[in-house]
Structure 1
Amino acid sequence: MAKFIQQDRAGVALIGAGMIAKTHVAALSDAQDVVALCTIVSRHPDKARYLSDFYHGPIPDFSSDLMAVAANPDIPIAIVATPPSVRKEVITTLAQAGTHILLEKPLGRNPQEAREVVEICERAGVKLGILFQHRVRPPAIAAARHVASGALGRLGLVEIAVPLWRDQSYYDELGRGTYARDGGGVMITNAIHSINLALSLTGPVSRVQAMTATTPLHRMEAEDFAIAGLQFQCGASGSFVASTAMFPHRTEVIRLHFEHASLKLDKNALKISWRDGRVAVEAKDKAPQKVNPLLGGKHEWHQAMIEDFVDAVRHERKPLVTGREALASHDLIAAIETSSRSGHPVSIPECQGEIR
């Protein structure tokens, strides 16, 4: 049976103490009106204790005992931020004990593993939310509102650009950029955020023709460059390019060209260029921007996702990004990889995201 939130503040456990953990802890610290961080689970609890510096509240327990979290009725929610290679086992333990799971992307290392994770949670009757924090950026929310209004007309062309830079030290971390630990390179680790956001605005892709490569700028197993032509089910065409070998590091940009206007969407603002000559800028972030590819951005976006998930569990509704919705992003990445290997176009079934 799924756990219930029985107190004013939901007890939360953070599973994993890697690079992204401090962002989660800072987000949980600022969300203390609705959550209480009870436990941080790590293979090396003593090494994880530095994370308490990012939490301005009662110091959480530090433990390596996942079963204790699963068995605790006062911890109905777990944030899972472990490497993809060990997530299925962690999720199985938590879900079977009724713990609801907010999962760092990706769902799994490949579409089959991703579907298994979704099915595990569905069979257990627990909620599975995916931390695609780009979806709660103000420009993304504004773009979704305009697309839903219908005033833009028919979508004709899509551009998805993820021009990132990662130094070799990023890939020197054990397992980073490998298929065994991460499931791939730039697409599944970095660009999946922009892929998920774009698909939430455009609908699914039906066909791709692609090429991927590992440039001489990195020593790694998987790809640090991917490019694809896209055909969408709605009839639009598009392009996708992503890399961690593009110096200097720049922000991701999605451009959507509709019948009556074009949208330029990045993390700083939404720009709307109407065909009649009007130009509007909405949801502009006026704070100074410092691009640091290793800090992961502001923790406020993680905080918004956490607060949404807690509300979804409390009121028995769907979270902003469900596990089943996130499967479409995995299907597209797999199709790009398949097209690159074969040199031929690849079709994605219309049942994209459904169990095959």
Structure 2
Amino acid sequence: MKLAVIGLGMASKPHLAALKLLADQIEVVGLYSRSESRRAAMAAETGWPAFDSLQAVANSDAQVVIVITPPNARAELVQTLGAAGKAILMEKPVERDLARAKALVETCEGFGVPLGIVLQHRYRAGAEALADLMASGRAGKVLMARVSLPWWRDQGYYDTPGRGTLDMDGGGVLITQAIHVLDLMLSLAGPVAEVMALTGKTPLHQMETEDFAAAGLRFENGAVGSVVATTAAYPGGAETLELECTHVALKLEAGALTLHWRNGQTETVGEVTGTGGGGDPMDFPCDWHRDLITDFAARVQAGQAPRVSGRDALRVHRLIDAIERSARTRAIAQVEAEA
């Protein structure tokens, strides 16, 4: 499998580390960044060649292109790569808002190219075990879901040009940090029907968008839930997803799953790892990215749909859109139904 990488900023670190581990399976044919100095430096550091233009990537023999640019830099990339028939694996979020995300997904579908989204929390050992348990039916029905993301970002993080702005990122803690655990929640508990939310900005940050969000949820299956997410919780802690089910109470914390069966038995799966929830956003292993890239490449070769496709990722975009609408209007907001 031949692969190219576009985007060499902070978020590329775990991708590049994972690709080094996959050198016996995947050939990296080149790297590209709009910054000539950055692509030269990364080519020297990694030993992989650098492309001098987007068109050069499109004209290459890469079968897969990983796109790790900010959300506002993707429309042209996807159009060019899609027209060249490249399978695209793209960092979350899909785009800055739901409308743009839909348009990008439809662009890839129009070209008939696979679009996978990097939502790597699904590939943690505890999350995999939780998904298997829910699929088996042993847990029973989901009755309540609770999400907590007490992360920390210092002001230096938001002083990076464009960081936490509507124009570049599309929002704050919801679309940039909480999107991972919200996606995981939806994949396990099913779609949300309506939300009542509050978002805001604490005095701890000078930024355009929210560093705090809280929401009450009502799922389509009748379950209730809550979300509290922030990047103002110093020094930062592990995110948790808790599911109260008919037969078991489940807690997934930083990749470690604890099962409290209602007959009194307790089980644990996985282990606590770095999450990127503290001062260093990249303080986590590259294992999840390695497994995600491996899975995407294998599915492309087999002609199968990505495990987390662009259309799949629209579910979490719909939820974030509803939370933002509810916070703006100070009223219950319906989550847009899937087409």
TM range (shorter): over 0.9
Distance 2:89 2:301 in 1: 14
Mapped partners of 1:281, 1:112: distance in 2: 40
In structure 2, what is the Cα distance between the partners aligned to 1:31 and 1:99?
20
Say whether 1:219 aligns with 2:206.
yes
State the one-letter code of the partner of 2:37: D
AA of the residue aligned to 1:308? D
Residues 92-171 of structure 1 aligned to structure 2 (within 5 Å): 92-171=79-158
| 1:187 to 1:165, Cα distance in 2 relative to 1, 3 A | same
Moved over 4 A (4+): 287-292
Name the SS for the 1:294 alignment partner: coil
CA distance in 1: counterparts of 2:119 and 2:33, whole angstroms: 23
Residues 138-174 of structure 1: CA distance to partner in whole angstroms, max 9, x if unpaired? 0000000111111111111100111100000000000
CA-to-aligned-CA distance 1:236-267 (integer Å, 9 cap, x gap): 10000100001121011000000111000122
* Residues 48-87 of structure 1 mapped to structure 2, 5 A cutoff: 48-52=39-43, 55=46, 59-72=47-60, 74-87=61-74
- The residue type paired with residue 263 of structure 2 is D
For 2:42 and 2:119, the matched residues in 1 are separated by: 22
Matches within 5 A, 1:1-356: 10-52=1-43, 55=46, 59-72=47-60, 74-284=61-271, 293-349=280-336, 351-352=337-338, 354=339
For structure 1, which runs of at least 5 residues remain unmatched after alignment?
1-9
Pairwise CA distance, 1:189: 0.6
Q: Is the 8 A contact 1:20 1:296 kept in 2?
A: no
SS of match in other structure, 1:20: helix
Unaligned segments of structure 2, at least 5 residues: none
Deviations 1:24-47 (A, max 9, x none): 111111111221111111112322
Count of paired positions? 338
Query: Relative to structure 1, is the Cα distance of residues 289 and 329 closer, same or farther in structure 2, using a 3 angstrom cutoff?
Result: closer
User: Which stretch of the first structure deviates more once superposed, 240-249 or 32-41?
Assistant: 32-41
Rounded to whole Å, the distance in 1 between the matches of 2:70 and 2:274 is 32
What is the Cα deviation at residue 294 of structure 1?
2.0
Given the two structures, how large is their TM-score scaled by the length of structure 2?
0.96
Aligned-pair Cα RMSD in Å: 1.6
Which whole-Å CA distance do the structure 1 matches of 2:333 and 2:126 have between them?
32
SS for the counterpart of 1:32 is coil
Amino acid at match of 2:28: L
Post-superposition shift, 1:89?
1.1
> Matched residues, percent identical?
42
The Cα shift of 1:347 comes to 0.9
